[in-house]
Amino acid sequence: MKKRLAYTLSFALLLGAAVPIAQRTVHAQAKTYKNCTELNKDYKGGVAKSASVKNKGGKTKYKPFVSAELYEANKKSDRDKDFIACEK
């Protein structure tokens, strides 16, 4: 009986501690850049939708930063539609 009570109380404490952490988590909105010059100041190689995409445009100097959310926010800057925005 005491073990069951101890397990129940410890579970309740863990659950109570986990809820406020989950409530504090705020999803940051991906920044939208007005052009490739602005995006390349923060991400020299551009932004890729996933790590498996290949560049159609040829050789590049820098490796792109991988972020699906950031890519979706700046999809308009992917002129060659290879899922890498503003590759350099």
Summarize pLDDT for 37-65 with one digit per residue, the tens: 999 999 999 999 999 998 887 788 999 99
**What's residue 24's pLDDT?**
41
Residue among 88, 21, 84 at smallest CA distance from 47: 84
- pLDDT band at 26; cut points 50, 70, 90: very low
CA distance 65 to 62: 9
pLDDT at 20 over 70: no
Q: How far apart are CA 58 and CA 27, in angstroms?
A: 35
Res. 75: pLDDT tops 90 = yes
Integer Cα distance of 5 and 2 in angstroms? 5
pLDDT > 70 in the chain, percent:
81
* DSSP at 81: -
